[in-house]
Chain A
Amino acid sequence: VSFTVDSFTDQDVEAVAMLARQYFPEKGRASVETVGRILRYQYLMKECGQMPPSMVCRDREGKPVGFLGVTNIPFQYRDRVITGAYASDFLISESARNSLTALRMLKVFFSGPQDFSFTDDANLTSRQLWERLGGMTAYSQSIYYKTPVRPASFIARPIVKGRNRAFGITLCKSAFLIDFLMNRVNMPRFRPEQMNVTYQLLKPDDLINLMELHMRGYYLHPRLTKDGAQYYLGLIEMEEQYGKLFKAAVVDDRGYVDWFVYYLNSDKSCSVLYSESLKGREDLLFKSLLWHSYRQGGVELSGRLNPVQAGTWIGRNSLLLPGRFWAMVHTAQKELLADLLTDKAFLRRL
């Protein structure tokens, strides 16, 4: 066998950062140092757990040619605490693809001591590998949404692509004006004056409190500690290559309403990482999120739809895109597997 699978260590950071920049376009926008700093933080801090470790695949000379990032997360599952191993940044360099490296790495990963393994960003190839090794696709967790924030600009965007610059500028300015006027003449898709909410900077304590309130009713959800919340918020702050970060806890006169985290990128698209509300306040969540992104100049919002949000405002008013990325699970425990595939499992890396 030409390649070996080892634990990811500090010595591998630079080589893996270079690979990650090559294979993940969004990481390619950041420097090797920045990507390395994120990798070190994300996969080598004690908060990401000990076993199984993140893995590298090395060639004969010991050089990393593949990587599988692992974050071990304590989960509350019914009345016990279990460990979920979250896989991310899975990559194999072209030079190592003809030696079954991907299957070898996943086999090693699945054989770890975790109760279950999961990911929420598998592409079609990864999905096929997971399924062949006994994993399952969590279809209800694999639906993405896209919704306009500025409808006229949203429609103008695909028309402008590939056209000449003068036409593009004219159309975009016209669309921006239409969106502005629609808002002025009381035709907004949301009315902030009726919402009466306050946006607070999301802090670790808010996150813990909101998660605790939000997670009631789930069979399985992450057990968030203060260290865990700090780790997570620290990580998303480092990932500047995705755009400008906004993280807010939304409060009204009855207390917490919801919380959200999104990146606003340079083309004014808002990529939502998390947007969760307290039970029964889902519609308010997306209206508050839309208004927030509108004020930041956003044109569209996109993100992964939590299954419990499918019947709410966002589910009814968005373009739903199943399978942009797939949520995958793997476990040898049959009862747990059945629960993981329901919408009562909160399958996120928090």
Chain B
Amino acid sequence: MRTTRLTSGESMLQDVIHLIEKMLQVDGLNGESELIESGLLDSLALVNLMTTLEENYAIRITPDMIDFEHFSNPAAIFSMVQHCIQMKRSNSG
């Protein structure tokens, strides 16, 4: 069973970047790297990325959260993941 990782913000951002790099098979991304405009992330890759994020952080990304700004770069994705984790904690608490 997967559990939410309790890491600091910085290392969690690195973790998200690593996941994206692994999935897209690229190196050298940083928080501000453009994923959509650069053409790295297409629709199917985004769907797969969402599934990977859900599995790794035990979160649920709902259809209304699929706002393309949330996926424009790793930092935006990291913020969205943090938001999902907080939502999950407040719902379970």
Top 7 nearest A-B pairs (CB, nearest first) are A98-B39, A134-B63, A102-B43, A103-B43, A132-B47, A97-B42, A98-B42
Q: Is the CB of A129 within 8 A of B43?
A: yes
- B13 CB, min distance to chain A CBs, angstroms: 22
A323-346 residues at the B interface, CB under 8 angstroms: none
* Residues of the B chain whose Cβ atoms lie less than 8 Å from the Cβ of A128: 44, 47
Q: How far is the CA of A128 from the CA of B50 in the complex (A)?
A: 11
> Which A residues are closer than 8 A to B by beta carbons?
1-2, 92, 97-104, 107, 125, 128-129, 132-134
Interface footprint category on B: 10 to 19
Inter-chain CA distance A92–B41, complex, in Å, is 15
A contact residues around B63 at 8 Å (CB): 132-134
| Cα distance A260–B74 in the bound complex, in angstroms | 53
Whole-angstrom CA separation of A283 from B40 in the bound complex: 53
Q: A129-B47, A132-B50 are in contact. Are A98 and B41 (CB under 8 A)?
A: yes
9 A-B residue contacts at CB 8 Å? A98-B39, A100-B41, A100-B42, A102-B44, A103-B47, A125-B44, A132-B47, A132-B66, A133-B63
- B residues sitting closer than 8 Å to A (CB atoms) are 36-37, 39-44, 46-47, 50, 62-63, 66, 68, 71
Bound: A4/B36 CA distance, A: 15
B43 touches A97 (CB 8 A): yes
CB proximity of B75 to chain A, nearest CB, Å: 18
CA distance A92 to B50 in the complex (A): 21
Question: Closest B-chain residue to A92, C-beta based?
Answer: B43
Residues of A within 8 A of B37 (CB): 2, 99
B51, closest chain A residue (CB): A132
Decide: A99 near B66, CB < 8 A? Known: A128-B44, A129-B47, A132-B50. no
B40 A103 Cβ-Cβ under 8 A? no
B53 to chain A: closest CB distance in Å? 12
Q: How far is the CA of A149 from the CA of B18 in the complex (A)?
A: 55
Question: B39 to A129, Cβ gap below 8 A?
Answer: no
List chain B residues, Cβ under 8 A from A97: 42-43
B44 A104 Cβ-Cβ under 8 A: no
Chain A residues near B43 (CB, 8 Å)? 92, 97, 100-103, 129
Q: Which residues of A contact B44 (CB under 8 A)?
A: 102, 125, 128-129
Residues of B within 8 A of A104 (CB): 68
Q: What is the chain B residue whose CB lies nearest that of A2?
A: B37
In the complex, chain A residues whose CB is within 8 Å of the CB of B66: 103, 107, 132-133
Residues of A within 8 A of B40 (CB): 98
| Shortest beta-carbon distance from B29 to chain A in Å | 16
8 new A-B contacts, CB < 8 A, other than A99-B42, A129-B43, are A97-B42, A97-B43, A99-B36, A100-B42, A100-B71, A103-B43, A103-B66, A129-B47
